[in-house]
Structure 1
Amino acid sequence: MCRVRRMPIPMIRLPRAFFSALLFVVLLGPLSAQSPDSLISAKDLLNLKQLGAPAISPDGTRVVYTVRSIEESTANPGEYAYRTRIWMIPLDGIGGPRQLTRGDGSASFPVWHPSGDRIAFVRFEKSVPQIWVLPLGPGGEAFRITAIPNGATHPRWSPDGTKLLFSSTLTLSEVRDEFAQSPNAQTLSAWPDERPGRPKPSHDTATSASDKNETARLNGTREAERRWLDRREAAGNPRVLTRLEFIGDSDLAPEEEFTHLYVAPAEENAAAQLLTPGFLSADGAEWVNLPDGPRVVFSAESPGEIHPDRVLDRALWSVGLDGAAPRTILYTPNFAYTRPTASPDARTIAFLSDDLSLNSYGQTQLGVIAGDGTNRKILTAKIDRNVSRPKWSADGTQVYFTATANGGHPLFRVRADGSADPEVLTGVTNAIRAYDIGATHGIVVLSQAANPYELHRLTLATKEYRLITAHNSEWLRTKSISVPVRRQLTLSDNTKIDSWLIKPTFLEPGKKYPLLVAIHGGPHAMWGPTDAGMWHEFQFFASRGYGILFCNPRGSSGYGQEFQKGSFQNWGPGPASDVLAATDQACTEPWVDKEKLVLSGGSYGGYLAAWIVGHDKRFKAAVAQRGIYDLATFFGEGSAWRLVPYHFGGYPWQPFVRRLLDAQSPLSHAEHIVTPLLIEHGDNDRRTGTAQSEMLFRALKVLNRPVEYVRYPNATHELSRSGDPAQRIDRLLRFDEFFRRFIGE
């Protein structure tokens, strides 16, 4: 059985009405003798299963869900790929789970038909997703509904079960072509093209037999030259950039994309009807029933003729099946309304609300509104936390949701009429990763310190869990796990900091061990004792004989708006002092070797790791992953560039802001970095950009400092979470080897 260390169960510091939460910790059996096989290894990443998308059947007896695993290629041993399958299990767990989909293509987004006799889902074929339906009776065989060239995803059954709503993403050129074939073609003139002084490219960009002659006449008319240039641009050589959001997360993004909604009969190879033509990009669509018939509610850019790159507002829209244009049902300037979720009778919509004027420091709220746009109310005004994932109770009287809170992801519920304060159902020792709600029970993907992903049944009346799957617990049965212990610290300015300390998996009395201090990204991210994304990494280092310390410094989410705003114009000094104070506290443990401290962080955590070693020399070695090291350069090369105006109050060309950006850039303090530093980045990481890591590496090489630079081919900013499995294993082993060089082991 898994061996775990007991930890105190922390309560969420919320209003008294929330203190009714019942907190549970699963402890997995007796301790056993140490053996190499019981240690979590880097290769155990390949054993880890990620569960998601649970959905309870309409009759409340079954659950479908997804399992994402890493599979080795039979043709090319040593090469690995992610595969997602759909599984089904009785809600009571009796009889165990059954795998529903197989094959090389992944399957995801399972949704129940109202009758409960079939599911719709998304299957990927040659990387293109399409909607399929799988009958669940004897001999049922899946059949394909869509054959959309760009793919189809996010299926939703109509309330009567006769139609499927889905989405597909088109480029600007494809939207133009779509318009050219529609009676609304005249509305093309409303498109806010941002190409200064240049006519829009002609629609006639296809290669023709006359191209050679036209090329020979390039010194002819201006019209012929422009037509030649348009054809070259349409072929992607060169890529011409005119938009504000010209950088994506992994490549340049010269052309805008729009997600459109379609509806199709639930029949094999059905013809689809376009619901949202034009320059709206729809998200989170749901069916509603109104007196004038069924409609679809979705979130999209706010109304207007401003280029969508410059529009951050999101409105709720409604569209019918009669071909009429969509209309807004909820719009407020400087607000984003997202995640519309229909009530069981499809007459009321729950939604999420963000005040954009607060520049990412505001806390996401939950609201409800009638399907026709009337009777709006906010339900979570008393919770100073970011809420997410709304779902309705089976009787439509309550809305469930999760929130980031004090290092955890608890589950809440609130009455839909707003007549009572929200009630918290779970605590931070059991993080809810995904869930669904039935009449008497819920189904949750639970992340615990001893197991990062497993399916549990939640009894709504008693708030008790029951484990019903063993996708990870089976292989973890013989593994030894070290559980985080919460620590709290009050600083001299009265800032309160949560941290967690993980002991080495096997701790010998009287022996001292190195301590790895890990820093999360964001800066508005949050870690806690059940963080599934870091579970394997932390357990790997604990098994290698490290203690691990992580904390939520000022700027982290999960502690309210004021705490989150603590990093405004203060990316370096304040959060660094919090991390170092937590480190000082951890060093009072008798098993911590204060002469063997190492440091690591990713994204914003990479920034803060580099900042700390530029101002403090206690660490023997440090790793800065996919970080930001020159803030002014990041403004130009990173897809997350809005962090600069949001978090520093302006732009690099403004003198005060530029001085602040320079002062708080780790590159500006490179001369003071003497700690051995490993800089890691992915070749295709454009969220933060690679030029800054090159600049920091070059600076430290010129200064003749101990520095190494690791670049992973084809890797993006998601390397540590969903990147190539072999690269993920490589980075863990590489970090461990780098640390041991300098701590003398």
Structure 2
Amino acid sequence: MTSPYSDLNDFIALSRVDGIALSPNGERAILTVATLNRDATAYERALWSVPADGSGAPVRLTRSAKGESGVGFTGSGDILFVSARPDAAADKDPEAPQLWLLPAAGGEARAVTRLAGGVSSIAATASGSDVVVLAADLLASSDTLESDAKLRGKRKDKKVSAILHEGYPVRYWDADLGPAEPHLLALDLSELPETAVARAAVAPDAEPSYPADLPRPTDLTPAPGRTADTAGQALTPDASTLIVALQVRERRAGRFALVSVQVATGIQTVIVEEDGVDFESPAVSRDGTRIAYTRLVRSTPAGPEDVELWIAGIDGSDPRRLAADWDRWPTSIAFAADDASLIVTADHDGRGPVFRVPLDGPVEQLTHDEFTYTNVTVDTVSGDLVALRSSWVSPPHPVRIALSGEVTPLANPAAALEAPGSITAVEATAEDGARVRGWLLLPEGASASTPAPLLLWVHGGPLGSWNAWSWRWAPLLAVQRGYAVLLPDPALSTGYGLDFIARGWNSWGAKPYTDLLSITDAVEARDDIDETKTAAMGGSFGGYMANWVAGHTDRFRAIVSHASLWALDQFAGTTDHSQYWQEIFTAEAMEEFSPHHSVRDIVTPMLVIHGDHDYRVPIGESLRLWSELAEHHALDDGSTKHRFLLFPDENHWVLKPQHSVVWYETVFAFLDQHVHGAEWKRPELLG
């Protein structure tokens, strides 16, 4: 049987689980499953139901060309999701996604909003109420849902796309911000009639009005500016109070404060706030009396600050820090079923375990396997958990976690995959004595007699870890083609403590670079690795490191640099969040560790890749890199050994399936040319 890793078209066609939600009674989990559409140019998402105890088989719940996502539950157990699927009750098909409800008792799904700008996401639900809070965008001049619809109609009719900005930022990741602003809207679904109400015909020239047969959303954040770009929110069980991390705007950026919003009145009260501190990821206890959250003092060039775990009363009273001697950074927070502890995930030693953090006592690691856990939800009936887990050889799949730590896989509509080759943990000792670890994926048959070429792959972030599956960065595709892949966690990586992060702070080209060389040395010393055939690659921060490596060593045969930082002074002022980058570097470090100063020293062939819609690392970085490579290294006739792969309509990651295929075809052709001496083969679809 042919492995799906052998053929790129087979790989992108694999079904993938990218979400999980647990019903209030704990009996079933709803999975969001993405599958490739007919022309292989996008993914369609559908909802599947599986028993939450590990028994039974998956049952598909939805099917539409537009797909479904963002699953939640009402307190009554009805399923909520967001979709742009056709609404039979509307005058015309919606252009924007709306909130839909699928009754727990069975029956057809129905749209429960009809917002002109659509619903961005389900922001919060309540365990004891049918009130839901939605994230939605409204035009800045709108004061009602009707005026928003009218203004949108005028812009559409006149084909106006211009945006007037009155503050910073103006874009984020791959999206231009504005002209609409983010709002939080409360929707009481107990007011939803059992059946759709017949409506009179509406004249074509009539003023827009919100449908009277649907519950009307209430704006909890009127005139928000960008303050409702939140850092998390949670409802009390009775849905009377929303606890939300709202922005306090400050010049080019802002800090997050915890705000209590009375859902019935919209009255806001700031309950946790400090200058120079971000409070994020609020979670509300099961009894509605307490909140948990993270506290992060703004970092400076002097060093990183810890991500602290705190708890307080629902009104912000009696705040206290938990687990003060635990220097792992929480990535998700939930109260346990009995409210006596928190269930927390965090990067840890190249994995992403689940931890139990008692409100009084030391942290306990609940899972001890080789996986990283995400989307963790607490079953309030049994106290168990459901989650997705993955590793570099196992895509995300649903599991149940008992209080004992025992893990039971749940039924999965996505087929299980057999990974090629093997995976092993590796480590080295850095120049300063620090332990540097990573994962080594070896192709089948790698041995002393047939050593494998090595591909050093550097992660992005830089605050991150190679500890979980990624459909975008898929090293098993390289393993299937005979490459050994090293996934290292150098200085700045998370999961090894604050001191390990601090080793690379304000000096990206120092210990992160020497850590990479140290662990590469250790792996190249193995007899199943061919140290004469090595290459390096990375994206984002990994692209920065690829550029730095290119200018500081000639040990690699080829270097692939994706969405990379090239000139730090230029990058810091053009990225979508410039204040952050400028406040974590000194001017001297930004100058000293900018890769562009070493362009004359580059001798290794480079493949430069970028998406024009990348606003985090703007295209100007690679345009300047490409220009300077040509300036210093092109031959008299303009030819060059370097290559530049540009995606005009992709962002930081390159997400369209057909472009992912082109990305890998180009990368592997480039690596094969320079690592194996193969003839350069231009991918067919590049013309």
TM-score, L = length of structure 2: 0.86
Q: 1:65 aligns with which of 4, 9, 31?
A: 31
Q: 1:431 aligns with which of 372, 389, 404?
A: 372
Residues 44 and 164 of structure 1: CA distance in aligned 2, closer, same or farther (over 3 Å) = same
Residue 358 (structure 1) shift: 5.0
Residues 698 and 340 of structure 1: CA distance in aligned 2, closer, same or farther (over 3 Å) = same
**Which residue of structure 2 aligns with residue 245 of structure 1?**
169
Q: 2:431 aligns with which of 478, 481, 492?
A: 492
Structure richer in helix, relative to its length: 1
1:422-476 per-residue CA deviation (whole Å, 9 max, x = no partner) reads: 1111136121022212224221211134322111121212x111222244444x2
**Which residue of structure 1 aligns with residue 685 of structure 2?**
none
Matches within 5 A, 1:629-648: 629-648=566-585
State the SS of the aligned residue for 1:312. strand
Matches within 5 A, 1:576-725: 576-649=513-586, 657=587, 659-703=588-632, 704=634, 706-719=641-654, 723-725=655-657
State the SS of the aligned residue for 2:578. coil
1:47-70 per-residue CA deviation (whole Å, 9 max, x = no partner) reads: 43332443332332222222223x
Letter in 1 for 2:51: P
Hey, what's the Cα distance between the residues in 2 that align with 1:447 and 1:542? 18
After alignment, is 318-327 or 396-405 more displaced?
318-327
**Which residue of structure 2 aligns with residue 281 of structure 1?**
228
**Which residue of structure 2 aligns with residue 216 of structure 1?**
none
Residues 110 and 535 of structure 1: CA distance in aligned 2, closer, same or farther (over 3 Å) = closer
**Which residue of structure 1 aligns with residue 320 of structure 2?**
377
Conserved in 2, the CA contact under 8 Å of 1:609 and 1:623? yes
Conserved in 1, the CA contact under 8 Å of 2:393 and 2:476? no
Q: 1:49 aligns with which of 11, 15, 18?
A: 15
Residues 178 and 354 of structure 1: CA distance in aligned 2, closer, same or farther (over 3 Å) = farther
**Which residue of structure 2 aligns with residue 219 of structure 1?**
none
Letter in 2 for 1:123: S
Residue 261 (structure 1) shift: 3.0
Conserved in 2, the CA contact under 8 Å of 1:110 and 1:120? yes
Matches within 5 A, 1:553-572: 553-572=490-509
Hey, what's the Cα distance between the residues in 1 that align with 2:175 and 2:285? 39
Letter in 1 for 2:426: R
Alignment partner of 1:120 is 2:80: yes
State the SS of the aligned residue for 2:516. helix
Residue 627 (structure 1) shift: 0.2
Letter in 1 for 2:320: K
Hey, what's the Cα distance between the residues in 1 that align with 2:388 and 2:48? 13
Q: 2:666 aligns with which of 734, 737, 741?
A: 734
Residues 329 and 237 of structure 1: CA distance in aligned 2, closer, same or farther (over 3 Å) = closer
Residue 112 (structure 1) shift: 2.6
**Which residue of structure 2 aligns with residue 512 of structure 1?**
451
**Which residue of structure 2 aligns with residue 481 of structure 1?**
420
State the SS of the aligned residue for 1:562. helix
1:17-73 per-residue CA deviation (whole Å, 9 max, x = no partner) reads: xxxxxxxxxxxxxxxxxx75475432343243332443332332222222223x232
Hey, what's the Cα distance between the residues in 2 that align with 1:485 and 1:740? 25
Residue 180 (structure 1) shift: 13
What residue ranges of structure 2 are gaps of 5+ in the alignment? 86-93, 194-213, 635-639, 679-687
Conserved in 2, the CA contact under 8 Å of 1:602 and 1:625? yes
Hey, what's the Cα distance between the residues in 2 that align with 1:545 and 1:454? 27
Alignment partner of 1:301 is 2:253: no
Q: Which has the larger radius of gyration?
A: 1
Alignment partner of 1:105 is 2:66: yes
**Which residue of structure 1 aligns with residue 310 of structure 2?**
367
Hey, what's the Cα distance between the residues in 1 that align with 2:160 and 2:250? 22
Residues 492 and 324 of structure 1: CA distance in aligned 2, closer, same or farther (over 3 Å) = closer
Residues 96 and 708 of structure 1: CA distance in aligned 2, closer, same or farther (over 3 Å) = same
Residues 37 and 424 of structure 1: CA distance in aligned 2, closer, same or farther (over 3 Å) = closer
State the SS of the aligned residue for 2:621. helix
State the SS of the aligned residue for 1:396. coil
1:370-422 per-residue CA deviation (whole Å, 9 max, x = no partner) reads: 2222222222322101102111222222210100112111101122xx21111
Conserved in 2, the CA contact under 8 Å of 1:677 and 1:708? yes
Letter in 2 for 1:587: E
Residues 54 and 637 of structure 1: CA distance in aligned 2, closer, same or farther (over 3 Å) = same
Hey, what's the Cα distance between the residues in 1 that align with 2:251 and 2:411? 44
Matches within 5 A, 1:222-241: none
Residue 519 (structure 1) shift: 0.6
Residue 603 (structure 1) shift: 0.6
Hey, what's the Cα distance between the residues in 2 that align with 1:545 and 1:127? 46
Residue 110 (structure 1) shift: 2.3
State the SS of the aligned residue for 2:271. strand
Alignment partner of 1:353 is 2:295: yes
**Which residue of structure 2 aligns with residue 227 of structure 1?**
none
Conserved in 2, the CA contact under 8 Å of 1:122 and 1:155? no
Residue 311 (structure 1) shift: 4.5
Letter in 2 for 1:327: T
Hey, what's the Cα distance between the residues in 1 that align with 2:628 and 2:396? 42
Hey, what's the Cα distance between the residues in 2 that align with 1:525 and 1:539? 20
Letter in 1 for 2:530: D
Residue 495 (structure 1) shift: 2.1
Letter in 2 for 1:403: A
Residues 690 and 504 of structure 1: CA distance in aligned 2, closer, same or farther (over 3 Å) = same
Letter in 1 for 2:281: R
Alignment partner of 1:521 is 2:467: no
Residue 352 (structure 1) shift: 2.1
Residue 120 (structure 1) shift: 2.0
Hey, what's the Cα distance between the residues in 1 that align with 2:146 and 2:397? 50
Residue 127 (structure 1) shift: 6.1
Residues 298 and 37 of structure 1: CA distance in aligned 2, closer, same or farther (over 3 Å) = closer
**Which residue of structure 1 aligns with residue 90 of structure 2?**
none
Q: Runs of 4 or more off by more than 6 Å in structure 1?
A: 179-182, 204-208
Hey, what's the Cα distance between the residues in 2 that align with 1:378 and 1:206? 46
Alignment partner of 1:450 is 2:396: no
Residues 123 and 313 of structure 1: CA distance in aligned 2, closer, same or farther (over 3 Å) = same
Conserved in 2, the CA contact under 8 Å of 1:314 and 1:336? yes
Hey, what's the Cα distance between the residues in 1 that align with 2:531 and 2:127? 62
Hey, what's the Cα distance between the residues in 1 that align with 2:643 and 2:82? 43
**Which residue of structure 2 aligns with residue 220 of structure 1?**
none
Residues 663 and 320 of structure 1: CA distance in aligned 2, closer, same or farther (over 3 Å) = closer
Conserved in 1, the CA contact under 8 Å of 2:98 and 2:114? yes
Alignment partner of 1:260 is 2:184: yes
Letter in 2 for 1:149: A
Residue 629 (structure 1) shift: 0.4
1:88-141 per-residue CA deviation (whole Å, 9 max, x = no partner) reads: 11122322111111111222232233343x222222346622222111324x22
Hey, what's the Cα distance between the residues in 1 that align with 2:665 and 2:167? 41
Residues 643 and 630 of structure 1: CA distance in aligned 2, closer, same or farther (over 3 Å) = farther
Q: 2:216 aligns with which of 231, 246, 271?
A: 271
After alignment, is 562-571 or 605-614 more displaced?
562-571
Residue 552 (structure 1) shift: 0.9
State the SS of the aligned residue for 1:481. coil
Give the count of matched residue pairs. 633
1:202-225 per-residue CA deviation (whole Å, 9 max, x = no partner) reads: xx99999xxxxxxxxxxxxxxxxx
Residues 400 and 566 of structure 1: CA distance in aligned 2, closer, same or farther (over 3 Å) = same
Letter in 1 for 2:114: A
After alignment, is 431-440 or 279-288 more displaced?
279-288
**Which residue of structure 2 aligns with residue 547 of structure 1?**
484
Sequence identity percentage: 24
What residue ranges of structure 1 are gaps of 5+ in the alignment? 1-34, 183-203, 209-230, 650-656
Hey, what's the Cα distance between the residues in 2 that align with 1:527 and 1:37? 24
**Which residue of structure 2 aligns with residue 23 of structure 1?**
none
Conserved in 2, the CA contact under 8 Å of 1:172 and 1:258? no
